Structure 1
Amino acid sequence: MRPFFRWAICAIGLANLCVWSACCQADLPLQPYASYWKPDDEPNSLKDYVYDWDPDAQFNKGSVPLASRFTNPALQANPNARANQARVMSLAAFDSTSNNPSQGSDTSRYYAFNNWQYLDAMVFWGGSAGEGNILAPNGPVIDAAHRNGVPVYGTIFLPPNVYGGDIDRLSDLVSESRGGRYPLADKLIEIAEKNRFDGWFFNQETSGADSGLAQQTIDFLQYIQDNSDLEMIWYDSMLENGNISWQGELNSFNNGFFEGSSTNDRASDSMFLDFRWNANKLNNSASYAEALGRDKYEIYAGVDVEGSGWDQSRVSMSDLFPNGGDHRASLGLYRPEWTLNSTSTVEQFYERDNQFWVGANADPRDTSGSVGSRGWKGLANYVPEKSPITDGPFVTNFNMGQGNHYWIDGMVSRRGEWNNLSLQDVVPTWRWLIDAPSNPLTPEIDFGIAYYGGSSLRVSGNLTSQNDLRLYMTNLPVTAETNLQVAFKTDVAASDSNMEVLVAFTDDPTNFTAVPVGASSGGGWELATLPLGDYAGKTIAQLGFRFDGTDDDYGINIGRLGVIDGEADPVAPPTNLALLDYAEVNDRQYTMRLEWQHSADYAPDDSNEVYNYNVYEVVDGRRVFLGGTLNNSFFVRNLIAPTRRNLVTVEVVSISNEFGESTASSFDLIWTNLPNELAGDYNNDGVVDLGDYTLWRDNFGGEAGTLTNNPYTSSIGMLQYNLWKENFGATAAAVVGTLNVPEPSSCTLLLAAGLAVGWYRRR
């Protein structure tokens, strides 16, 4: 495979020229990035890396527990799809290796993947010889995948020599220490466990190894198996004799990296075959896997989407998925973000991505058509959809994790483009299943308006007959207190919605009960609560909407669909909100690093009751949304100083799984009191050291103004202590670059600012 370099190049030699790219978007002072390393080369040596000393680490944690998923044969959309056979793995690059923001960015043009229902494994692809060979996933991708029931893997990529590969890096990586330990394997285990992702994809394509180094690599893989619950994925490249030779199959030359020398000697949990497979090789692989006591569907046949899109000429999908026969192996997709990179707008991306996954007809039941020159039918033709909605409450706002603005309760709370997959809701199980005798309406994701987030579901067209839109496969118990919640906005104010919620129960999963929504009372968003208590004791198998009536220009936006018990209950608030650090972008814009203690109702398992935390700036009593996360650390990209007042309040609230909102944890900032040089330097001597701790201790409980370089207005306490602790060891000279970053008029300036900030971020 090819190394992943930055996909946009900055014209450094041209003054005041900035080619739009990830680098121009992301290089803000204090910006945390996804972590990447080389095994034992500076900068960013994994050998020398200490997780607890990395100031970016806390911003890269995944916080959403991995959901369990299920299928329901009675509701399977496509008759060709085969349950419990092939799985689907994606190797997707969400940004560059070295400049991958930890918690989203200020552009809506982003690979906000949203067909999780067909995916079984997401590899956070990246790595290069120049930047780093090892890339850990960022928190938003972990969160979105886990919310939709999909595990996430980091990447270890040792490239071919022509792309800078150096066999010494493999030797460094798999080096064994005294006592039979593998120090860098221990580091990989620690990083994955602390950041809560699920394993590593290992792609070793560097030439120069011998059989001894190959065996050491196998031992390294087995060490991770024996010392963690992580899953390892091996890429078909290196042979047991150390040579690089892509086989396109599992065989006696490479099986050691899969199952070791015998059965019950597991080295990796699955193998991704290079793009050289065919029907015969897949049959051989299946036989070989079964002889080793392994499942043939742990073998993934790779498809080069980046190189060929859906016009696949190197491989035949019918070799993998024979018509009318069992699948020969699972499917591995290399760089399917081609659906974004080959389009120019977010709307075009959604159309192409839906064709790639669902098929030409945008109907997972009907994959009779195809796209491209090679008859691409879409993944819905082969694998059944899966759902993570296994228990209540369930609420979706049809928020896809990107948008042009951010709405809260029907009102714009943040203006400007954004992306953050941590905020993506569970995506619809089917896009789209709509039944109508004629003139079916058109469902689509609408980024022009939302109830909560950046998008809503829009349904429009010539309404001439009953239209049934199936959306979600569920397993939701109903009690006497259960209610449906629906937020909707009709195109015509104060008009009948012509809409009912469709509910089917597990005792008759294809027979719908229709619950009327009613009319809108005005021209804005309506939030309707519809009791389901009459069906207590039943379990909801699917949810959707019915549209009925006559309207030649019908249109409605749906911004929430929920199943909750009673009202939307709040959860406990976060506590001890602290400003860890801040930096000035210009005379009115600041960035900040925040931290707080989790709500008492948060848990890292399926007992968690917190959906996410909302972060606000409050000026003159008006809240402005700064961002959201389920992490308890957050990077604020754009805090704007008020023009008429010197005071701003920063708040963090907990949002429950029912979208109830807690009280706030907050602090006040007085702009004129913000430190001019070094936050935490309470004695103003140019260094944050024990002298500042002594001054803090001696003034504990006193007035805030007693300490210089203290941004807080509250009495001296733990907020000031945490600020001192975070900045301990920093000097005023090192911070100058973060406080005087030039405006982003060119990539040259941004890169220079990045160099100035670099030491500070990694102190």
Structure 2
Amino acid sequence: MTRKLKRKALIPKVTAMILTTALLGQVVVSSVYAGDTLPYTGESAKGVNQPYQHGYTSAQILNWTPESDIHGDLLRAHVPLQPRNEAFAATQAYPELSPDTQLFTMSGDYGNAFFDSTPYTNEFSQYLFNYWQYTDYYSYWHGMASAGVPEELYDPSKEWTEKYFEFGILNIPNPAYTNAAHKNGVKSIANIFFSDNDRGPQTYKQMLIQDENGNFPVAEKLAEMAEYYNYDGYFFNQEEVARGVAPEDIASYKKFMKYLRDKGLYVQWYDSTINTTGKIQYQNQFNGLNSPFVQDSVLGRVSDSIFLNYVWNHKMLRDSRDHALSLGLDPLETVFAGVEGGHDKFGRWKQSYDLRHNLDENGQPMNSIATLGADFTHNALDEEMGDGSTNHRAEDEYQWMTFVRDRAWWSGPNQDPTDARRNASADLSDVYASGANWDGIAAYLTERSVINGSNFATSFNTGHGLKYYEDGAVSNDKEWSNINIQDIPVTWQWWMDSKGDKLNVDFDYGPSYEKGARYNYDSIGAFNGGSSLVVNGTLNAENFLRLYKTDLSVNGKSKLELTYNKPSTSDTSSLHVGLIFEDDPSNVVNVEVPQSGQHTEGWKTTSLDLSAYHGKTIAAMGLSFDPNGESIENYQMNIGEIRMSDGSATVPDAPTGFHIVKALTNTDELVVAWDMKDYSEVKQYNLYENGAYVGGVYDSTFYIKSLKQPSGELSIRAVGADGTESESNVLPYDLNTAVQNIDVKFKKNGDAIVSWKNPKKVKDSGKDKDKNTDKDKDKNKDKGKGNESIQLTLETEYTKEPFTKSLQVKKGKQSAVLTGLPTNGEHYVLNIAIGGQNPVTHTGQLADLQITPYAKEKVTVKDGKYTLALPDLEDLYKIYVYENGVAREFGVTYVSQKFPYIIRGRTKLSELTFTPASNNSSLKLVIEDYAGNQATTILR
């Protein structure tokens, strides 16, 4: 996004913050290096068959189909974009602030993993975004290796300049993040990025190809991809500094974006390229040189908005507003003032720009706001902290620092959204990387809400945990992260009103959670999910904690259930649910929770009748803690769940069609599927193995990383609008009776030698009610005769040309040879079943013995110079050019080193044009794929 950000989705090297003695007992100053999200190890390592995302080159976009995209069937988002409530100024933290200002947040998802970007996994320390209430658009600044790049090419221990593999120009949103964004009314935006260094020889020209009718096939595919994966638009970052955009291509570029916008997709352009010459020239304001990429005099509206580069001042932002108005555009919809997270923009010294410069004479933002890299609050924990470690963001015990830094970024240095602007009186002694010179985002953006209707439920689940709890008990003792099941975040973190000491508020992740020195509560964990809300401290005056901005209607059947746990001793205090009604927003109506001053000995649920407020609308709700005239030391109250309902949300039916898709016995992985109901009926599906929680998602399929037991029962429940679960659909399974230890080796001709180990005992799988059809029973007729044959079926997947090979072998056999297989390295699924049993699965890639020679017509010769076009070969790795038998050398991006070959993704675009040393020399071109196959083309 700037010259400082020529790393693949990385925040630049920044200067260290100071850790105070109040936090760590020592002062440590060090250099902070933002870097890759390194692959997790041990139990948290990515599963062998775990679906993960990849990037896309222009050619891969052009050839994209839903069926051929690797893992595409398991990486779709399904939650529809939810409508947001109308603005209601009376319940805003800053009532005078205009709600029309928008925020475009460009950040990582769970991090910046090149081969480990998964929708969910068993690791607590992933970054979980928790401030959707201030965000209108979430886009993904991420490095993703293009499809097919072997993971072996990535060495996490090497510098980021030594990544010799290809990154795609497109990364699409993580589906779990899209689901979470949509749940909160936020649009999820894919990212298209062209850069000399980061994308090597890839250029916008490959994207702008047109067919004979003048259409843009890549744009058409981008629209199809957005619909299939359920995201909402594209961000264009055109930063090819060396070449820029050729003047003759500028109109085509605009038409390309206009096509996407006309398809209903949101399109934002980055302030990098000027309209007159196409050269890279950051304007840092909206003016006549960049506004035609939003509003063109000939084409009309070609994009929705622009992300301004960061070096602006008050006059430039005022002029930006005025220029937008002169074009008939709303600057709060069109112009986004860019803010770069990290560096000196969040620390103890003066920042180089100030969002106060974006305020007009009435204190209102003149333009909307865009931020890059807000996840630096997590990424910048990768630093040496006196112990030699450089990957603290991957360590559970340091996650509390991310949470504190997050609140400083969003709620301001006082960690209070009603006091979000920096001031000299702020107590910063216990805030790691305090952001003392930073106004929180809440100072400029009003909070939004999707909580409406007459039903609402929350368990204060932030989307990850050190354990998973159900009804206050540990259901699964493994750590996890899954933003799919994140509850609607608390609107204000934290807005506490009190005339005395203010209580502290935190999320309680349980006894093994390291919460930092600023908190001293007893960690008890969650009621449901991974966390509960905990309030503690000295209670010497009434404290009112505002939690949610809402638009909830109350009727004669409305009830509110509150589940709480008071581990501190019995006292005189009382707990109330505080309701703020739309018709009297200055007044808090307290509904008392009976006997709430008593120590609870665990979780307790109380039902409160709200029928007295029939006909009213709840505009905000919170909790009130009253000492009733006493001063109570070490007060603590955990809130596990709030559930408001009126009976209109029916309990869903048990899910149907629940079955095993892939039983990967070699690795204890499993893929299951079921019939998905409309989001109006079901908000989530929860899966269990032998009663222990496995995970949840709104989808029709789920990947289970590791079965705890080889046999037992899988079950699934549907979750309704008020948080209630359906009855379970139970699926018995027994993998002990299936073949084990499947192994596949390939001969030199591509034939597959398959071996396995037969079970000691074979049992009928008739208990599988979803799979045991009449057809299955027919297959099992000869079971009693001891005549169970073994069926092998190999199918290719993620390909445009499916292939199937079946083979039946006699009972007792433990090996077979599959012949006549494709030899192009395609992905395959091998199913092996004994008799009529359900099969078990092995996956891999077929032997790759094929390579297509480089087409000579792709070489352009002009004035003695040879220019090589990138071949269409999907698994191309290297290109050798031999002149008189001697390999030419080619320069790569980032470093001055040259290689005796062109390396996919890293050789400079300019290096693809060369002049032979002699007019009479021989020229030979050899291409090599990832499998090591080579093919030769004689150029002359």
TM-score range, shorter-chain basis? 0.7 to 0.9
Counterparts of 1:757 and 1:306 in 2: how far apart (Å)? Answer: 41
- Output aligned runs, 1:735-750, within 5 Å: none
Name the residue aligned to 2:708.
640
Higher mean Cα deviation, 552-561 or 281-290?
281-290
Counterpart amino acid of residue 91 in structure 1: M
The correspondence of residues 304-453 of structure 1 with structure 2, limited to 5 A, is: 304-311=340-347, 313-321=351-359, 324-343=362-381, 344=392, 345-370=398-423, 375-448=437-510, 449-453=525-529
Cα distance change of structure 1 residues 163 and 62 upon mapping to structure 2, 3 Å threshold: closer
Contact 2:643 2:723 (C-alpha < 8 Å) held by counterparts: no
CA distance in structure 2 between the partners assigned to 1:256 and 1:595 by the alignment: 48
* Contact 1:497 1:518 (C-alpha < 8 Å) held by counterparts: no
What is the one-letter code of the residue matched to 2:337?
Answer: A
Distance in structure 1 (CA, Å) of the matches to 2:502 and 2:359: 31
Q: Against the structure 1 CA distance between its residues 494 and 427, is the aligned structure 2 distance closer, same or farther, given a 3 Å change threshold?
A: same
Change (3 A) 1:234 1:332: same
Match of 2:191 among 149, 155, 163: 155
Q: Is the 8 A contact 2:561 2:605 kept in 1?
A: yes
Is 1:552 aligned with 2:637?
no
SS of the residue corresponding to residue 586 of structure 2 reads strand
Q: 1:293-308 to 2 correspondence within 5 Å?
A: 293-297=328-332, 298-308=334-344
Q: CA shift at 1:214, angstroms?
A: 2.2
Alpha-carbon offset, residue 478 of structure 1 = 0.8
**Match of 1:664?**
728
Task: Tell me how far 1:185 sits from its aligned partner.
Answer: 0.8
Q: Are residues 1:32 and 2:51 paired?
A: yes
CA distance in 1, matches of 2:175, 2:845: 21
SS of aligned partner of 2:222 = helix
Contact 1:30 1:738 in 2 (8 A): no
Shift of 1:488: 0.6
Q: Is 1:532 aligned with 2:596?
A: no
Q: Tell whether the 8 Å contact from 2:559 to 2:608 is kept in structure 1 after alignment.
A: yes
Determine if contact 2:338/2:370 at 8 Å carries over to the other structure: yes
Give the deviation of 1:233 after TM superposition: 0.7
Does residue 141 of structure 2 align to residue 125 of structure 1? yes
User: Alignment partner of 2:467: what SS?
Assistant: strand
Q: Offset of 1:698 from its aligned partner? A: 11
TM-score w.r.t. structure 2 length?
A: 0.68
What residue in structure 2 maps to residue 564 of structure 1? Answer: 645
> How much does 1:569 deviate?
4.3
Deviates more, 1:89-98 or 1:364-373: 364-373
Report the residue type matching 2:115 in the other structure. Answer: N
Q: CA deviation at 1:141?
A: 0.7
Mapped contact 1:487–1:561 kept (Cα < 8 A): yes
Per-residue deviation, 1:686: 6.1
Match of 2:67 in 1: 52
The letter for the 2-side match of 1:500 is H
Cα displacement (A) at 1:489 = 0.7
Whether 2:273 is the aligned partner of 1:211: answer: no
Partner of 1:627 in structure 2? 695
* Alpha-carbon distance between aligned partners in 2 of 1:394 and 1:77, rounded to the nearest angstrom: 22
Give the deviation of 1:26 after TM superposition. 4.8
Please tell me whether the aligned partners of residues 3 and 127 of structure 1 are also in contact (alpha carbons under 8 angstroms).
no
Matched, 1:580 2:661: yes
Task: Give CA-to-partner distance per residue, 1:629-677, whole Å, 9 cap, x none.
Answer: 01112111121225xxxx2222111011212111223422212233447
Alpha-carbon distance, 1:148 to partner: 1.6
User: Alpha carbons of 1:721 and 1:514: their partners in 2 closer, same or farther (altered >3 Å)?
Assistant: farther
The 1:699/1:398 distance shift into structure 2, 3 A limit, reads closer
Corresponding residue for residue 291 of structure 1: 326
Q: Report the equivalent of 2:22.
A: none
Tell me how far 1:510 sits from its aligned partner: 2.4
Answer yes or no: is the 8 Å Cα contact 2:568–2:634 preserved in 1: no
Higher helix share: 1
TM superposition shift of 1:158: 0.9
On the 8 A contact 1:275/1:314 being kept in 2, the answer is no
User: 1:82 offset after TM fit, Å?
Assistant: 2.2
State the partner residue of 1:712.
none
Q: In structure 2, the residue corresponding to 1:185 is in which secondary structure?
A: helix
The CA distance in 1 between the partners of 2:827 and 2:106, in whole Å, is 40
Q: Distance in 1 between matches of 2:448 and 2:478?
A: 34
More displaced 10-residue stretch of structure 1: 210-219 or 489-498: 489-498
Query: Given the alignment of the two structures, is residue 467 of structure 1 paired with residue 540 of structure 2, yes or no?
Result: no
Distance 1:497 1:481, change over 3 A: farther
Deviates more, 1:469-478 or 1:235-244: 235-244
Q: Structure 2 matches for 1:673-712, cutoff 5 A?
A: 673-676=737-740, 700-702=775-777
Alpha-carbon contact 2:496-2:546 (below 8 Å) kept: yes
In structure 2, the CA distance between the partners of 1:191 and 1:463, relative to structure 1 (3 Å rule), is same
> In the TM superposition, what is the alpha-carbon distance from 1:723 to its structure 2 partner?
11
1:366 partner amino acid: D
Residue by residue, what CA displacement relative to the aligned partner does 1:518-552 show, whole Å, maximum 9, x if unpaired?
A: 23684121122111112111111111111112432
- Counterpart of 2:683? 611
**SS of match in other structure, 2:295:** coil
Q: In angstroms, what is the RMSD of aligned CA positions?
A: 3.5
1-structure distance, mates of 2:81, 2:722: 19
Deviation at 1:21, TM superposition (A): 2.5
Which 5+ residue runs of structure 2 have no aligned equivalent? 12-35, 145-164, 382-391, 393-397, 429-433, 511-524, 744-751, 756-770, 784-790, 806-816, 819-824, 831-842, 848-873, 876-940
1:585-635 deviations in Å (ceiling 9; x for gaps): 65xxx1122221113xx23xxxx13221101111xxxx1111110111211
Deviations, residues 397-456 of structure 1 (Å, cap 9, x unaligned): 111111111111211111122111111111111122222221221121111100111111
Whether 2:326 is the aligned partner of 1:273: answer no
SS of 2:407's equivalent in the other structure is helix
Question: CA separation in 1, counterparts of 2:826 and 2:692?
Answer: 28
| CA deviation profile, 1:331-350 (whole Å, cap 9, x unmatched) | 11111101112234221111
Residues 1:459 and 1:707: Cα distance change in structure 2 (over 3 Å) = farther
> 1:50 is matched by which residue type in structure 2?
T
In structure 1, the residue matched to 2:205 is 171
CA contact (8 A) 2:422 2:436 kept: no
CA distance in 2, matches of 1:675, 1:591: 15
- Partner deviation per Cα, 1:471-498 (whole Å, 9 max, x = no partner): 1111111111110011111104787872
Contact 2:549–2:621 (Cα < 8 Å) also in 1:
yes
| 1:135 Cα offset (Å) | 0.6
Q: Distance in 2 between matches of 1:28 and 1:138?
A: 17
Alpha-carbon spacing, 1:127–1:323, altered in 2? closer, same or farther (3 Å): farther
Q: CA deviation at 1:583?
A: 2.7
Q: 2:654 & 2:323 partners in 1: Cα distance? A: 54
| CA apart distance, 1:353 | 0.7
Question: How far, CA to CA, are the matches of 2:208 and 2:402 in structure 1?
Answer: 40
Tell me the distance in 2 between the aligned counterparts of 1:624 and 1:668.
Answer: 14
Pairwise CA distance, 1:163: 3.4
Cα distance in 1 for residues equivalent to 2:714 and 2:69: 25
In structure 1, give the amino acid aligned to 2:48. P
| Percent sequence identity over aligned pairs | 28
Contact 1:480 1:536 survives alignment (8 Å): yes
Amino acid at match of 1:386: R
Q: Secondary structure at the match of 2:267?
A: strand
Distance 1:685 1:50 in 2: 31
| C-alpha separation in 2, matches of 1:737 and 1:223 | 36
Q: Report if the CA contact (8 A) 2:826-2:846 is conserved.
A: no
- State whether residues 553 and 616 of structure 2, in contact with CA within 8 Å, keep that contact through their aligned partners in structure 1: yes
